[in-house]
Amino acid sequence: MNEINQKTSWEVHSSFCAKNTINPIRQIVDGLNLTPNKDKEVIPLSIGDPTVYGNLKLSSSVENAVLNSLQSNKHNGYGPSVGLKIARSAVATYVTPKVTAEDVVLTSGCSGALELCISCLANSGQNILVPKPGFSLYKTLSNARGIDVKLYNLIPEKSWEIDLDHLESIIDENTAAIVVINPSNPCGSVFSSSHIKDILKLASKHKIPIIADEVYQDIVFHDQTFHSMASLSDDVPILTCGGIAKRFLIPGWRLGWIVLHDRGDVFKPEIRNGLLNLSQAILGPCTLIQGALPAILGDLTNSCFEQVISLTEENAHLCFDQMSRIPGLRPIMPQGALYMMVGIEIEHFPGINDDRQFTEKLMEEQSIFCLPAICFQLPNYFRIVLTPPTEKMKEAMTRLQEFCETHYVD
Protein backbone atom coordinates (compact mmCIF):
# COMPACT_ATOMS: atom_id res chain seq x y z
CA MET A 1 0.00 0.00 0.00
CA ASN A 2 1.31 3.45 -0.88
CA GLU A 3 1.93 5.68 2.07
CA ILE A 4 0.36 9.13 2.03
CA ASN A 5 0.89 12.13 4.23
CA GLN A 6 -2.16 12.27 6.40
CA LYS A 7 -3.66 15.75 6.62
CA THR A 8 -4.03 17.23 10.05
CA SER A 9 -6.62 19.83 9.02
CA TRP A 10 -9.27 20.30 6.39
CA GLU A 11 -8.13 21.86 3.11
CA VAL A 12 -10.88 22.07 0.52
CA HIS A 13 -10.31 24.53 -2.34
CA SER A 14 -12.51 25.67 -5.18
CA SER A 15 -11.43 24.81 -8.70
CA PHE A 16 -9.86 27.08 -11.31
CA CYS A 17 -13.19 27.06 -13.14
CA ALA A 18 -15.15 28.09 -10.04
CA LYS A 19 -12.72 30.88 -9.15
CA ASN A 20 -12.75 32.28 -12.65
CA THR A 21 -16.48 32.06 -13.34
CA ILE A 22 -17.33 35.69 -12.69
CA ASN A 23 -20.31 37.50 -14.18
CA PRO A 24 -19.23 41.16 -14.59
CA ILE A 25 -22.82 42.42 -14.58
CA ARG A 26 -23.69 40.67 -11.34
CA GLN A 27 -20.36 41.68 -9.83
CA ILE A 28 -20.96 45.35 -10.65
CA VAL A 29 -24.68 45.41 -9.85
CA ASP A 30 -24.17 43.61 -6.53
CA GLY A 31 -21.60 46.25 -5.63
CA LEU A 32 -23.81 49.21 -6.48
CA ASN A 33 -25.25 51.34 -3.72
CA LEU A 34 -28.87 51.09 -4.85
CA THR A 35 -31.06 52.86 -2.33
CA PRO A 36 -34.23 54.12 -4.01
CA ASN A 37 -36.09 57.29 -3.12
CA LYS A 38 -38.74 56.04 -0.69
CA ASP A 39 -41.23 58.57 -2.05
CA LYS A 40 -41.05 57.30 -5.63
CA GLU A 41 -41.96 53.92 -7.07
CA VAL A 42 -38.95 52.13 -8.55
CA ILE A 43 -38.91 51.95 -12.34
CA PRO A 44 -36.54 49.11 -13.31
CA LEU A 45 -35.02 49.63 -16.76
CA SER A 46 -32.17 47.21 -16.22
CA ILE A 47 -33.20 43.61 -16.91
CA GLY A 48 -33.67 42.30 -20.44
CA ASP A 49 -36.72 40.24 -19.51
CA PRO A 50 -39.83 41.30 -21.46
CA THR A 51 -42.11 39.52 -18.97
CA VAL A 52 -41.23 41.69 -15.95
CA TYR A 53 -44.11 44.16 -16.14
CA GLY A 54 -46.76 41.74 -17.39
CA ASN A 55 -47.78 44.10 -20.17
CA LEU A 56 -46.59 41.72 -22.90
CA LYS A 57 -48.75 38.60 -22.93
CA LEU A 58 -47.86 35.03 -23.75
CA SER A 59 -49.60 33.85 -26.91
CA SER A 60 -52.36 31.30 -26.40
CA SER A 61 -50.89 29.26 -29.25
CA VAL A 62 -47.59 28.96 -27.38
CA GLU A 63 -49.41 28.02 -24.20
CA ASN A 64 -51.47 25.39 -26.02
CA ALA A 65 -48.35 23.97 -27.65
CA VAL A 66 -46.91 23.15 -24.24
CA LEU A 67 -50.21 21.79 -22.93
CA ASN A 68 -50.47 19.50 -25.95
CA SER A 69 -46.89 18.36 -25.47
CA LEU A 70 -47.64 17.54 -21.83
CA GLN A 71 -50.93 15.79 -22.52
CA SER A 72 -49.45 13.69 -25.32
CA ASN A 73 -47.38 11.87 -22.67
CA LYS A 74 -44.62 11.51 -25.28
CA HIS A 75 -42.06 13.97 -23.99
CA ASN A 76 -41.43 13.11 -20.35
CA GLY A 77 -38.32 10.98 -20.73
CA TYR A 78 -34.75 11.57 -21.77
CA GLY A 79 -34.11 12.61 -25.34
CA PRO A 80 -30.93 12.56 -27.43
CA SER A 81 -28.29 14.88 -25.97
CA VAL A 82 -28.45 17.12 -29.07
CA GLY A 83 -32.25 17.27 -28.84
CA LEU A 84 -35.29 15.49 -30.22
CA LYS A 85 -35.26 15.20 -34.00
CA ILE A 86 -38.74 16.71 -34.37
CA ALA A 87 -37.56 19.78 -32.45
CA ARG A 88 -34.28 20.08 -34.36
CA SER A 89 -36.14 19.78 -37.65
CA ALA A 90 -38.45 22.59 -36.54
CA VAL A 91 -35.46 24.82 -35.80
CA ALA A 92 -33.86 24.01 -39.14
CA THR A 93 -37.05 24.95 -40.99
CA TYR A 94 -37.45 28.10 -38.91
CA VAL A 95 -33.89 29.32 -39.49
CA THR A 96 -33.32 28.46 -43.17
CA PRO A 97 -34.23 25.71 -45.64
CA LYS A 98 -30.52 25.24 -46.34
CA VAL A 99 -29.91 23.24 -43.14
CA THR A 100 -31.37 20.04 -41.71
CA ALA A 101 -31.94 18.57 -38.27
CA GLU A 102 -28.41 17.15 -38.44
CA ASP A 103 -27.06 20.72 -38.40
CA VAL A 104 -28.88 21.66 -35.18
CA VAL A 105 -27.93 21.18 -31.52
CA LEU A 106 -30.52 22.14 -28.89
CA THR A 107 -29.29 23.75 -25.70
CA SER A 108 -30.42 25.14 -22.38
CA GLY A 109 -31.16 28.66 -23.57
CA CYS A 110 -29.03 30.74 -25.91
CA SER A 111 -26.48 31.09 -23.12
CA GLY A 112 -26.05 27.31 -23.23
CA ALA A 113 -25.49 27.54 -26.97
CA LEU A 114 -22.75 30.12 -26.48
CA GLU A 115 -21.11 27.97 -23.83
CA LEU A 116 -20.94 24.97 -26.15
CA CYS A 117 -19.61 27.04 -29.06
CA ILE A 118 -16.84 28.66 -27.04
CA SER A 119 -15.90 25.38 -25.37
CA CYS A 120 -15.77 23.58 -28.71
CA LEU A 121 -13.80 26.13 -30.73
CA ALA A 122 -11.22 27.40 -28.23
CA ASN A 123 -8.61 25.89 -25.90
CA SER A 124 -7.03 27.37 -22.81
CA GLY A 125 -4.44 29.92 -23.95
CA GLN A 126 -6.36 30.82 -27.10
CA ASN A 127 -8.57 33.87 -27.48
CA ILE A 128 -11.93 34.85 -28.90
CA LEU A 129 -12.81 38.33 -30.16
CA VAL A 130 -15.86 39.96 -28.58
CA PRO A 131 -17.51 43.35 -29.22
CA LYS A 132 -17.08 46.33 -26.92
CA PRO A 133 -19.69 47.12 -25.73
CA GLY A 134 -21.02 43.60 -25.62
CA PHE A 135 -22.87 41.09 -23.48
CA SER A 136 -20.64 40.08 -20.57
CA LEU A 137 -21.45 36.36 -20.62
CA TYR A 138 -18.74 35.68 -23.23
CA LYS A 139 -16.10 36.81 -20.76
CA THR A 140 -17.66 34.75 -17.97
CA LEU A 141 -17.70 31.58 -20.06
CA SER A 142 -14.26 32.08 -21.57
CA ASN A 143 -12.28 33.03 -18.49
CA ALA A 144 -13.61 29.98 -16.63
CA ARG A 145 -11.93 27.86 -19.29
CA GLY A 146 -8.65 29.75 -19.46
CA ILE A 147 -9.64 31.35 -22.77
CA ASP A 148 -8.74 34.99 -23.24
CA VAL A 149 -11.26 37.58 -24.42
CA LYS A 150 -10.02 40.38 -26.66
CA LEU A 151 -12.41 43.29 -27.15
CA TYR A 152 -12.95 44.95 -30.50
CA ASN A 153 -14.55 48.39 -30.73
CA LEU A 154 -17.98 49.31 -31.99
CA ILE A 155 -18.51 52.82 -33.39
CA PRO A 156 -21.41 54.70 -31.73
CA GLU A 157 -21.44 57.40 -34.42
CA LYS A 158 -22.13 54.68 -37.02
CA SER A 159 -25.02 53.03 -35.16
CA TRP A 160 -22.56 50.73 -33.42
CA GLU A 161 -21.01 49.18 -36.53
CA ILE A 162 -17.82 47.21 -35.96
CA ASP A 163 -14.53 49.08 -36.23
CA LEU A 164 -13.10 46.62 -38.72
CA ASP A 165 -9.59 48.10 -38.62
CA HIS A 166 -9.47 47.65 -34.87
CA LEU A 167 -10.94 44.15 -35.12
CA GLU A 168 -8.26 43.10 -37.57
CA SER A 169 -5.50 44.66 -35.46
CA ILE A 170 -6.19 42.35 -32.50
CA ILE A 171 -6.26 39.09 -34.47
CA ASP A 172 -3.28 36.85 -33.75
CA GLU A 173 -2.22 33.23 -34.20
CA ASN A 174 -4.19 32.24 -31.09
CA THR A 175 -7.52 33.68 -32.21
CA ALA A 176 -10.05 30.84 -32.33
CA ALA A 177 -13.29 32.66 -33.17
CA ILE A 178 -14.96 36.02 -33.73
CA VAL A 179 -18.21 36.68 -31.86
CA VAL A 180 -20.72 38.88 -33.70
CA ILE A 181 -23.90 40.00 -31.90
CA ASN A 182 -26.59 41.08 -34.32
CA PRO A 183 -29.07 42.51 -33.39
CA SER A 184 -27.01 43.80 -30.51
CA ASN A 185 -27.29 43.49 -26.78
CA PRO A 186 -26.65 46.10 -25.35
CA CYS A 187 -26.74 48.51 -28.31
CA GLY A 188 -29.90 47.63 -30.21
CA SER A 189 -28.08 47.89 -33.54
CA VAL A 190 -28.99 45.89 -36.66
CA PHE A 191 -26.20 45.46 -39.22
CA SER A 192 -26.71 46.14 -42.92
CA SER A 193 -25.94 43.41 -45.45
CA SER A 194 -22.96 45.39 -46.75
CA HIS A 195 -21.44 45.65 -43.26
CA ILE A 196 -21.94 41.93 -42.65
CA LYS A 197 -20.21 41.18 -45.95
CA ASP A 198 -17.25 43.30 -44.83
CA ILE A 199 -17.06 41.32 -41.57
CA LEU A 200 -17.17 38.07 -43.50
CA LYS A 201 -14.44 39.26 -45.86
CA LEU A 202 -12.16 39.90 -42.90
CA ALA A 203 -12.95 36.51 -41.32
CA SER A 204 -12.29 34.82 -44.65
CA LYS A 205 -8.96 36.58 -45.04
CA HIS A 206 -7.74 35.29 -41.67
CA LYS A 207 -9.59 31.94 -41.82
CA ILE A 208 -11.39 32.45 -38.50
CA PRO A 209 -14.87 30.98 -37.85
CA ILE A 210 -17.69 33.14 -36.53
CA ILE A 211 -19.99 32.62 -33.56
CA ALA A 212 -23.11 34.56 -34.57
CA ASP A 213 -25.30 35.49 -31.60
CA GLU A 214 -28.63 36.13 -33.32
CA VAL A 215 -31.06 35.53 -30.47
CA TYR A 216 -32.75 38.89 -31.22
CA GLN A 217 -33.08 38.19 -34.94
CA ASP A 218 -36.87 38.60 -34.92
CA ILE A 219 -36.95 41.87 -32.97
CA VAL A 220 -36.08 44.50 -35.57
CA PHE A 221 -37.86 47.78 -36.16
CA HIS A 222 -40.17 48.25 -39.12
CA ASP A 223 -37.68 50.25 -41.19
CA GLN A 224 -34.93 47.66 -40.72
CA THR A 225 -34.16 44.26 -42.25
CA PHE A 226 -32.32 41.49 -40.45
CA HIS A 227 -29.65 39.65 -42.44
CA SER A 228 -28.18 36.53 -40.88
CA MET A 229 -24.44 36.05 -41.10
CA ALA A 230 -24.86 32.61 -42.64
CA SER A 231 -27.14 33.83 -45.42
CA LEU A 232 -24.33 36.05 -46.73
CA SER A 233 -21.36 33.72 -46.20
CA ASP A 234 -19.76 31.89 -49.12
CA ASP A 235 -16.77 30.40 -47.35
CA VAL A 236 -16.72 31.40 -43.66
CA PRO A 237 -18.06 28.61 -41.38
CA ILE A 238 -20.54 29.93 -38.84
CA LEU A 239 -22.09 28.66 -35.62
CA THR A 240 -25.38 30.54 -35.23
CA CYS A 241 -26.86 30.78 -31.73
CA GLY A 242 -30.52 31.55 -31.14
CA GLY A 243 -33.51 30.64 -29.04
CA ILE A 244 -37.17 31.18 -28.22
CA ALA A 245 -36.69 33.46 -25.20
CA LYS A 246 -37.40 36.99 -26.36
CA ARG A 247 -39.62 36.76 -29.45
CA PHE A 248 -42.00 34.33 -27.77
CA LEU A 249 -41.83 36.01 -24.32
CA ILE A 250 -40.63 32.82 -22.60
CA PRO A 251 -37.02 33.41 -21.41
CA GLY A 252 -37.55 31.13 -18.42
CA TRP A 253 -38.29 28.12 -20.62
CA ARG A 254 -34.58 27.87 -21.41
CA LEU A 255 -34.49 26.50 -24.91
CA GLY A 256 -31.84 27.63 -27.36
CA TRP A 257 -29.94 26.21 -30.30
CA ILE A 258 -26.78 26.10 -32.33
CA VAL A 259 -27.09 25.83 -36.10
CA LEU A 260 -23.97 24.71 -37.95
CA HIS A 261 -23.57 26.54 -41.24
CA ASP A 262 -20.59 24.70 -42.64
CA ARG A 263 -18.68 26.03 -45.60
CA GLY A 264 -16.25 23.74 -47.41
CA ASP A 265 -16.74 21.02 -44.77
CA VAL A 266 -14.54 22.95 -42.34
CA PHE A 267 -16.62 21.74 -39.37
CA LYS A 268 -16.65 18.07 -40.44
CA PRO A 269 -16.17 15.91 -38.49
CA GLU A 270 -14.25 17.46 -35.61
CA ILE A 271 -16.49 20.39 -34.64
CA ARG A 272 -19.67 18.41 -35.15
CA ASN A 273 -18.34 15.60 -32.96
CA GLY A 274 -17.08 18.12 -30.43
CA LEU A 275 -20.51 19.72 -30.05
CA LEU A 276 -22.04 16.26 -29.70
CA ASN A 277 -19.56 15.36 -26.96
CA LEU A 278 -20.19 18.60 -25.07
CA SER A 279 -23.97 18.22 -25.37
CA GLN A 280 -23.70 14.90 -23.56
CA ALA A 281 -22.72 16.73 -20.39
CA ILE A 282 -26.26 18.13 -20.04
CA LEU A 283 -28.22 15.43 -21.91
CA GLY A 284 -30.28 18.01 -23.77
CA PRO A 285 -32.72 20.71 -22.64
CA CYS A 286 -36.26 20.14 -21.32
CA THR A 287 -38.02 17.54 -23.48
CA LEU A 288 -41.46 18.97 -22.66
CA ILE A 289 -40.56 22.26 -24.37
CA GLN A 290 -38.81 20.38 -27.18
CA GLY A 291 -42.06 18.53 -27.84
CA ALA A 292 -43.89 21.86 -28.14
CA LEU A 293 -41.25 23.46 -30.36
CA PRO A 294 -42.67 22.48 -33.79
CA ALA A 295 -46.00 24.13 -32.90
CA ILE A 296 -44.32 27.17 -31.32
CA LEU A 297 -42.01 27.85 -34.25
CA GLY A 298 -44.66 26.97 -36.79
CA ASP A 299 -47.09 29.69 -35.70
CA LEU A 300 -45.78 32.61 -37.76
CA THR A 301 -49.05 34.55 -37.31
CA ASN A 302 -48.43 34.86 -33.57
CA SER A 303 -49.78 38.30 -32.59
CA CYS A 304 -47.31 38.74 -29.75
CA PHE A 305 -44.50 39.25 -32.30
CA GLU A 306 -45.97 42.52 -33.52
CA GLN A 307 -46.82 43.49 -29.94
CA VAL A 308 -43.19 43.18 -28.84
CA ILE A 309 -41.74 45.00 -31.85
CA SER A 310 -44.31 47.82 -31.85
CA LEU A 311 -43.94 48.54 -28.14
CA THR A 312 -40.15 48.43 -28.26
CA GLU A 313 -40.02 50.70 -31.30
CA GLU A 314 -42.57 53.13 -29.86
CA ASN A 315 -40.64 53.38 -26.59
CA ALA A 316 -37.34 53.75 -28.47
CA HIS A 317 -38.64 56.79 -30.37
CA LEU A 318 -40.17 58.23 -27.21
CA CYS A 319 -36.97 57.86 -25.19
CA PHE A 320 -34.70 59.05 -27.99
CA ASP A 321 -36.79 62.18 -28.59
CA GLN A 322 -36.99 62.98 -24.87
CA MET A 323 -33.34 62.31 -24.04
CA SER A 324 -32.09 64.23 -27.08
CA ARG A 325 -33.43 67.34 -25.32
CA ILE A 326 -31.98 66.51 -21.91
CA PRO A 327 -28.73 68.33 -21.14
CA GLY A 328 -25.73 66.05 -20.75
CA LEU A 329 -27.18 62.95 -22.45
CA ARG A 330 -26.38 61.50 -25.90
CA PRO A 331 -28.89 58.77 -26.76
CA ILE A 332 -28.16 56.55 -29.75
CA MET A 333 -31.29 55.45 -31.58
CA PRO A 334 -31.52 51.64 -31.72
CA GLN A 335 -32.75 49.64 -34.68
CA GLY A 336 -33.95 46.52 -32.90
CA ALA A 337 -33.51 44.20 -29.90
CA LEU A 338 -34.82 45.52 -26.56
CA TYR A 339 -32.24 48.12 -25.60
CA MET A 340 -30.88 51.63 -26.00
CA MET A 341 -27.44 52.91 -25.05
CA VAL A 342 -27.16 56.48 -23.76
CA GLY A 343 -23.93 58.43 -23.50
CA ILE A 344 -23.24 60.65 -20.48
CA GLU A 345 -21.27 63.89 -20.87
CA ILE A 346 -19.79 63.21 -17.48
CA GLU A 347 -17.72 66.40 -17.41
CA HIS A 348 -20.99 68.36 -17.08
CA PHE A 349 -22.02 66.53 -13.91
CA PRO A 350 -19.67 67.72 -11.14
CA GLY A 351 -19.50 65.34 -8.22
CA ILE A 352 -20.46 62.39 -10.41
CA ASN A 353 -17.30 60.64 -11.55
CA ASP A 354 -18.57 57.94 -13.89
CA ASP A 355 -21.55 55.95 -15.16
CA ARG A 356 -21.59 53.82 -12.04
CA GLN A 357 -22.06 56.83 -9.76
CA PHE A 358 -24.54 58.31 -12.23
CA THR A 359 -26.81 55.26 -12.03
CA GLU A 360 -26.44 55.04 -8.24
CA LYS A 361 -27.46 58.66 -7.77
CA LEU A 362 -30.29 58.31 -10.30
CA MET A 363 -31.68 55.45 -8.21
CA GLU A 364 -31.20 57.37 -4.95
CA GLU A 365 -33.00 60.49 -6.17
CA GLN A 366 -35.45 59.28 -8.81
CA SER A 367 -35.85 55.52 -8.20
CA ILE A 368 -34.88 54.66 -11.78
CA PHE A 369 -32.64 51.62 -12.15
CA CYS A 370 -30.49 51.55 -15.31
CA LEU A 371 -27.39 49.48 -15.95
CA PRO A 372 -24.12 51.39 -16.03
CA ALA A 373 -22.39 50.48 -19.28
CA ILE A 374 -19.21 49.56 -17.48
CA CYS A 375 -21.12 46.25 -17.25
CA PHE A 376 -20.52 46.02 -20.99
CA GLN A 377 -16.91 47.29 -20.83
CA LEU A 378 -17.87 50.81 -22.00
CA PRO A 379 -17.55 53.66 -19.48
CA ASN A 380 -19.81 56.72 -19.33
CA TYR A 381 -22.85 55.21 -20.98
CA PHE A 382 -25.90 53.52 -19.50
CA ARG A 383 -28.33 50.99 -20.96
CA ILE A 384 -32.09 51.10 -20.69
CA VAL A 385 -34.60 48.36 -21.50
CA LEU A 386 -37.46 49.40 -23.79
CA THR A 387 -40.24 46.93 -22.92
CA PRO A 388 -42.03 48.54 -19.92
CA PRO A 389 -45.50 50.04 -20.49
CA THR A 390 -45.29 53.33 -22.36
CA GLU A 391 -46.68 55.29 -19.40
CA LYS A 392 -43.83 53.96 -17.25
CA MET A 393 -41.32 55.06 -19.88
CA LYS A 394 -42.86 58.54 -20.00
CA GLU A 395 -42.60 58.80 -16.22
CA ALA A 396 -38.99 57.58 -16.34
CA MET A 397 -38.09 60.23 -18.93
CA THR A 398 -39.69 62.98 -16.82
CA ARG A 399 -37.70 61.89 -13.77
CA LEU A 400 -34.49 61.55 -15.80
CA GLN A 401 -34.87 65.09 -17.13
CA GLU A 402 -35.41 66.40 -13.60
CA PHE A 403 -32.30 64.56 -12.41
CA CYS A 404 -30.07 65.87 -15.20
CA GLU A 405 -31.32 69.43 -14.92
CA THR A 406 -30.55 69.30 -11.19
CA HIS A 407 -26.95 68.16 -11.65
CA TYR A 408 -25.95 69.52 -15.07
CA VAL A 409 -23.46 72.40 -15.19
CA ASP A 410 -22.69 73.97 -18.59
Give yes or no for residue 31 having a pLDDT over 80.
no
Q: How many residues does the chain have?
A: 410
Give yes or no for residue 29 having a pLDDT over 80.
no
Q: Give dist(CA 148, CA 130) in Å, integer.
A: 10
Average pLDDT over residues 36-40: 92
Give yes or no for residue 171 having a pLDDT over 60.
yes
Beta strands, E only, 235-388: 238-243, 256-261, 329-332, 339-344, 368-369, 371-372, 381-385
Q: Which residue has the higher pLDDT, 286 or 305?
A: 286
Same domain? For 36 and 102 the reply is no
User: Is residue 6 included in any domain, yes or no?
Assistant: no
Give yes or no for residue 6 having a pLDDT over 80.
no
Residue 354: pLDDT band with limits 50, 70, 90: very high
User: Is residue 37 included in any domain, yes or no?
Assistant: yes
User: Is residue 379 included in any domain, yes or no?
Assistant: yes
Same domain? For 307 and 294 the reply is no
Same domain? For 261 and 153 the reply is yes
Q: Give dist(CA 299, CA 402) in Å, integer.
A: 44
**pLDDT score of 268:** 86
User: Looking at 4-13, 242-251, 257-266, which range is the least confident one?
Assistant: 4-13
Select from 260, 283, 298 the last residue of a domain. Answer: 298
| Geometric angle at alpha carbon 361, from 356 and 365, rounded to 5° | 155
Same domain? For 214 and 327 the reply is no
Same domain? For 247 and 318 the reply is no
Return the amino acid letter for 387. Answer: T
Percent of the chain at pLDDT > 70 equals 98
CATH code of residue 183: 3.40.640.10
**pLDDT score of 361:** 96
Average pLDDT over residues 159-179: 98
- In a 13 Å sphere around the CA of 362, the CA atoms on its Cβ side amount to 29
Say if residues 328 and 408 touch (Cβ distance below 8 Å).
Answer: yes
C-alpha closest to that of 388 among 369, 360, 407, 402: 369
Q: What is the pLDDT of residues 44-75, one digit of tens each?
A: 999 888 888 989 888 888 999 999 999 999 99
Give yes or no for residue 330 having a pLDDT over 60.
yes
Same domain? For 87 and 184 the reply is yes
Q: Show the domain range for 309.
A: 22-56+303-407
Q: Give dist(CA 72, CA 74) in Å, integer.
A: 5
**pLDDT score of 11:** 84
Same domain? For 348 and 281 the reply is no
Select from 298, 326, 354 the last residue of a domain. Answer: 298
C-alpha closest to that of 85 among 290, 256, 300: 290
CATH code of residue 43: 3.90.1150.10
Residue 303: pLDDT band with limits 50, 70, 90: low
User: Is residue 251 included in any domain, yes or no?
Assistant: yes
Quote the distance between the C-alpha of residue 88 and its chain's center. 22
Same domain? For 235 and 294 the reply is yes
User: Looking at 29-33, 211-215, 320-324, which range is the least confident one?
Assistant: 29-33
Average pLDDT over residues 323-346: 97
Average pLDDT over residues 245-258: 91
> What SS3 state is found at 212?
strand
User: Is residue 315 included in any domain, yes or no?
Assistant: yes
Same domain? For 266 and 324 the reply is no
pTM of the model: 0.93
**pLDDT score of 2:** 62
C-alpha closest to that of 131 among 186, 68, 209, 85: 186
User: Is residue 3 included in any domain, yes or no?
Assistant: no
Q: Give dist(CA 369, CA 396) in Å, integer.
A: 10
Select from 298, 327, 348 the last residue of a domain. Answer: 298
Residue 22: pLDDT band with limits 50, 70, 90: confident
Give yes or no for residue 4 having a pLDDT over 70.
no
User: Is residue 11 included in any domain, yes or no?
Assistant: no
CA distances from 263 to 50, 99, 115, 230, 278 (A): 36, 12, 22, 10, 22
Average pLDDT over residues 250-272: 93
User: Is residue 13 included in any domain, yes or no?
Assistant: no
User: Looking at 17-31, 230-244, 269-283, which range is the least confident one?
Assistant: 17-31
Q: Which residue has the higher pLDDT, 282 or 160?
A: 160
Average pLDDT over residues 92-121: 95
Please, which residues have CB within 8 angstroms of residue 199's CB and are 6 or more apart in sequence?
162, 164, 167, 178, 180, 191, 210, 229
Same domain? For 104 and 149 the reply is yes
- Total domains in the fold of the chain: 2
Question: Edge-to-edge strand order for the sheet containing 329-332?
Answer: 329-332, 339-344, 381-385, 371-372
Q: What is the mean pLDDT of the chain?
A: 93
Same domain? For 264 and 387 the reply is no
Give yes or no for residue 301 having a pLDDT over 70.
no
Same domain? For 158 and 227 the reply is yes
Percent of the chain at pLDDT > 90 equals 80
